[in-house]
Amino acid sequence: MTGMPFIGAIFFAVGVLIAVFHRSVGIAFCKIGKYMWKNNPLGISPDYTDKFYDERKAPRIMFLMGVVLAVEGVIFWFFPKFIQ
């Protein structure tokens, strides 16, 4: 399995994992983003990080990202000639 089908299988697996564990992945993504901005020498204020990394919206957004990634994985996996 080489090329697009292999990449499609990886996209599908990662997308399903993100969709299943969307709460923990979303909150972890927000916490990592806030930590990176806080420790960046050119970082922005905490007011903006709360706006950019809203932990209430994160699970919903991560679920949608997981579904989209899984659908892209199916397209790459089963229809590689459609992409090329």
| Residue 80: pLDDT over 70 | yes
| Residue 29: pLDDT over 80 | yes
Residue 46: per-residue pLDDT: 66
Structure tokens at 78: 């089963």
59: Cβ–Cβ under 8 A, 6 or more apart, which residues? 22, 23, 26, 27
Indicate the average pLDDT of the chain: 85
Q: Check: pTM over 0.85? Answer yes or no.
A: no
Residue 82: per-residue pLDDT: 67
Domain boundaries, the chain: 4-83
